[in-house]
């Protein structure tokens, strides 16, 4: 070959006797075949990969990793948590169908259900899922899915997944649970009766705030449908992002143990802190802990914007999870799209702050919040 041709076709074949300790990154848009006959083998189900939008070893690695931890038959990796939710929903629901969803949802999910699913001709009823009679009364002949979060965002209500699964089973509908806040480290919704479990992998699964991805898990029958929807919607995660998330997944237990312990200590500290009206933190989410999120409602006299500027190393972000402690302002970010009337009903106010607790020293974290509260009160008194 001449230079220009060699420049393009330098050796890339894998050596069978060279096995990497970690999964290689298959940073490719497509896979090659010896000839058209071998390429046809993909469509006959005898080859795993053709085009990365439809499947890639790194993407499958991430989907399988989350599925294994959740105790599911199969998992599908997607480009984000919302795309995972959409793929899971469309594996069950179609035009003309009806979904029942908890009213205390993450704002992005609420918008997806309220606006985009309506465009698909799918009706969604938002109700209080703590009211069993209300759930039963909302079931219609065309209801196909019941949807909630294992630990709700941002007020951290622990869902009665077993109770919902009984209702779903009785009415022959599927149950779908967003397990982002709990992660399979704390809760495994499939074991409690959930048919589909979704994650924003961007949060605790990836764990390092350097990747955007999602995952949906369930039976092989449902996940084959979800994967087909993911591929046709073009919501696949890139191979490098999938590789990063898979690497992060390996330390999930270590990170969650530390973050849950730190969150427990912070919640206890804030319960008696001057300037804090209410602390939201689960009491019995699981035997391993109660999560790494603490939500607080500050006294009306506290200026939340001033407070947010005095937290030292604590970062101000529009999201959660990651190794560093951070805060978010739900009414301006995650729940900005929720109607004011519903936010007020749920108790998400202008004084509500969601704290994502990191892996730093617990005393440093509690001191950061104590000092911020003291500084704000001092300025008000001056």
Q: What is the per-residue pLDDT across 279-297, written as a single tens digit (0 to 9) for each?
A: 999 999 999 999 999 999 9
pTM: 0.94
Which parts of the chain sit beneath pLDDT 50?
A: none
The answer for 298, left when phi > 0, alpha when psi is -120 to 50, beta otherwise, is beta
Residue 145: its H or E element: strand 143-149
Residue 7, pLDDT score: 58
Residue 381, pLDDT score: 75
Active-site residue, 299 included: no
Annotated active-site residue in 64, 157, 188, 203: 203
Annotated active-site residue in 53, 265, 277, 310: 53
298 with 353: CB under 8 angstroms? Answer: yes
Fold matches, 36-249 and 252-381: no
- CA-wise closest residue to 265 among 357, 329, 331, 342: 357
Residue 15 C-alpha from the chain's centroid: 37
Residue 378, pLDDT score: 76
Active-site residue, 21 included: no
> Which residues face 57 on adjacent strands?
none
Annotated active-site residue in 60, 97, 178, 195: 178
In the chain, where are the structural domains located?
A: 36-249, 252-381
Active-site residue, 53 included: yes
Question: What is the gyration radius of the CA atoms in the chain, in angstroms?
Answer: 23
Active-site residue, 268 included: no
Annotated active-site residue in 97, 104, 106, 258: 106
> Does domain 36-249 correspond to CATH entry 3.30.420.40?
no
Domain 252-381, CATH among 3.40.50.11260, 3.40.50.150, 3.90.1150.10, 3.30.930.10: 3.90.1150.10
Give percent of the chain with pLDDT exceeding 70: 96
């Amino acid at each position: 070959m001449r230079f220009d041709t060699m420049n393009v076709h330098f050796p890339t074949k894998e050596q069978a006797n060279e096995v990497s300790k970690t999964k290689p990154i298959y940073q490719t848009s497509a896979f090659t075949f010896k000839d058209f006959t071998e390429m046809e083998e993909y469509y006959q189900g005898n080859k795993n990969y053709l085009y990365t939008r439809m499947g890639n070893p790194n993407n499958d690695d991430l989907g399988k990793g989350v599925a294994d931890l959740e105790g599911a038959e199969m998992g599908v990796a997607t480009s984000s948590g919302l795309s995972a939710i959409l793929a899971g929903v469309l594996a069950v629901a179609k035009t003309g169908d009806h979904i029942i969803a908890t009213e205390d949802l993450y704002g992005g999910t609420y918008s997806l259900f309220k606006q985009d699913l309506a465009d698909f001709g799918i009706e969604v009823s938002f109700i209080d899922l703590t009211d069993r009679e209300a759930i039963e009364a909302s079931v219609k002949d065309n209801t196909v899915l019941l949807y909630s979060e294992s630990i709700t965002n941002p007020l951290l209500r622990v869902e009665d997944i077993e109770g919902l699964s009984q209702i779903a089973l009785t009415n022959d509908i599927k149950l779908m649970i967003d397990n982002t806040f709990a992660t399979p480290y704390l809760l495994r919704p499939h074991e409690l009766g959930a048919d589909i479990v979704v994650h924003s992998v961007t949060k605790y699964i990836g764990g390092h705030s350097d990747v955007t991805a999602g995952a949906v898990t369930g039976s092989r029958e449902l996940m084959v449908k979800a994967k087909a929807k993911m591929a046709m919607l073009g919501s696949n995660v890139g191979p490098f992002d999938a590789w990063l998330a898979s690497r992060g997944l390996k330390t999930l237990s270590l990170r969650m143990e530390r973050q849950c312990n730190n969150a427990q200590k912070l919640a206890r500290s804030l319960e008696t802190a001057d300037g804090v009206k209410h602390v939201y933190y689960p009491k019995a989410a699981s035997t391993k802990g109660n999560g790494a999120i603490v939500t607080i409602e500050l006294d009306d006299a506290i200026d939340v914007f001033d407070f947010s500027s005095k937290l030292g190393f604590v970062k101000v972000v529009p999201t959660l999870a990651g190794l560093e402690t951070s805060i978010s302002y739900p009414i301006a970010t995650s729940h900005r799209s929720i109607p004011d009337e519903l936010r007020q009903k749920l108790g998400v106010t202008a004084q509500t702050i969601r704290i994502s607790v990191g892996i730093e020293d617990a005393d440093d974290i509690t001191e950061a919040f104590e000092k911020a509260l003291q500084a704000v009160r001092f300025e008000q008194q001056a």
